[in-house]
Amino acid sequence: MGSITTAKPKEETHHVHPSGWENDPEEERFKLSLFDPIILVVYCHFALYFRLDDDAEQKETVATVLREGLEKTLSQVRHLCGTIEKDKGGGFSFVKKRDTTVKYVVKWLDTPEYPSIDDIEGASFSCKSLGDLSLWGLKEMPYGEGRPESSPQNSPLNSGFQLNFVRGGAVFSSHVHHWAADLTGWSNFVRQLADNCRAIYAARGTANKINFPPWDPACIDVSRFVKELPAESLVDGPPVAPRHPDHPKEHQALLFHLPKSKAAKLKALATPEDGSFWVSTYDAMCAFIWRHLTRVRTPYYKADPSSPAPYFGQSVDMRPRFHNPDPPRRMIRNMLTGGFSDASPLPIPTVGEVASGAVPLSTPAGYVRRLTDSITQAGVERALEYIATLRDQQSVSFNLMSKPPMAFFVTDHRPADVAGCDFGFGAPITHRFLTGDSISPNMTLVYPPARKAGGGGGDDDEGTVWSITLEKDLVPKLLEDREWSEYFEYRGVD
């Protein structure tokens, strides 16, 4: 009996010009801002999940509307069309040439050997449910810290896109160099793309002119955060930290669901009895996770309970915290920094205070709140002034792998929720950040609830989904933790 080979899926590759490109300048340079080098030097691989009818003509329409939407949006978000290049006077710029294009692939994975949208949703939109990520995105833009593809020394592309049709829907992959946009910047790009696609879709089959929504060029203007000092005044920054040597080789990203009712209980549990300070639900959730991860890790690393906890960090979007003037609502660049325990004067709780059930949960939750509140416009402006003095600003790039074992770092994806954005042909159910086999130790992500079929917000108790990276040896210990399982429902491997 002969072997069965899987037919190569149908695929189309488009090289998308921004609309009106024929009249563009020969070259445009968008200088990196002082925020950009703070960010991880990686390609972000975001996925949007759609429910669509299994109709061949409709799929062709969706592919065309997205292509035309990208043409319009890239003519607005101009720095995403091009590469990162060195400047003659030092530093880097996003460089767009008149004939530059952006790769857009359309692939049909709508046969039984690939997962359907129901299969993917049933697996909580896990990365694992897709299988080989190279099928679902552009191979030349993989996620991963320290990869040559995203190094600014190698003229990396700024963006690329792939639309994958599956049975019952589609998975739309967008690859964006992290220097070009942070999480909120990506979500703002998606909102602009959705608005443009909706206008295109509404005009199809009519004689009407496409009524595109307004666009404010200030949404990519970061000139207030660009500062160039004379070369002779620049100094060397700190050496780039390598991967921490004590990390075990194997980590696993796990998905958990936290129902809204359980999140409310955690907030009550983390609120101090004397009401001496306020904590948010976010603070409580982070404190509980930090506690239980520390608890299972302490014997593994033989950590001293009386020593300070190794590290706590979180990403912080500065858009709502900057004023005079306020940034544009749809700023599509980087304004991301973080609350980092190793850069804060606030005393971090000890390993024992974080891990012990005898210590109120308000102790680690209060630390999360104080650290969050300590990130101010004035403090970040001082940090940006320092970055401006560095000869190699990449020396301050955040490097999660350099942090020690038992570190805890969280990125909150809830403010970047784009589920429900109307593209005309449909709206995303949810989004995910796809990492594949490139798992960064200590990384935790929190996602908003997915939109249910019909446009609702899911069942009444549908809550956040957490992707938590843990040492593979410790996965059984966490899953056996009864208090953990009382709150967090295991949804499988991400």
* CB-CB contact of 431 with 46 (8 Å): yes
pLDDT category at 338 given cuts 50, 70, 90 is: very high
Taking the domain 251-493, which CATH number applies?
3.30.559.10
Residue 89's pLDDT is 83
Residue 2's pLDDT is 43
Task: Say if residue 3's pLDDT is above 70.
Answer: no
Task: Please report the DSSP string for 277-310 in residue order.
Answer: S---HHHHHHHHHHHHHHHHHHHHHT--TTSBPS
Nearest CA among 429, 434, 423, 426 for reference residue 448: 429
Instruction: Please provide the average confidence, as pLDDT, over all residues in the chain.
Output: 95
Note the pLDDT tens digit of each residue in 451-480.
875 545 556 899 999 999 999 999 999 999
3-state secondary structure of 146: coil
Residue 63: phi and psi, rounded to 5, are -60, -40
Question: What's the CA gap between 87 and 93, in Å, rounded?
Answer: 6
Kindly state which CATH superfamily the domain 11-233 is placed in: Chloramphenicol acetyltransferase-like domain (3.30.559.10)
Give CA 271 to chain center in angstroms.
Answer: 29
**The total number of residues written for the chain in this structure:** 494
Using the 8-state DSSP alphabet, how is residue 40 labeled? -
Mean pLDDT of 292-308: 98
3-state secondary structure of 201: helix
Note the pLDDT tens digit of each residue in 122-163.
999 999 999 999 999 999 999 998 899 999 999 999 999 999
Q: What is the largest CA-CA distance in the chain?
A: 74
In the chain, domain spans = 11-233, 251-493
CA 94, 97, 98, 101 torsion-angle sign: negative
Instruction: Give the helix ranges, DSSP H, for 374-452.
Output: 377-388
Nearest CA among 363, 304, 341 for reference residue 442: 341
pLDDT category at 241 given cuts 50, 70, 90 is: confident
Question: What's the CA gap between 62 and 50, in Å, rounded?
Answer: 11
Question: What's the CA gap between 323 and 377, in Å, rounded?
Answer: 8
Nearest CA among 167, 112, 478, 73 for reference residue 296: 478
11-233 and 251-493 share one fold: yes
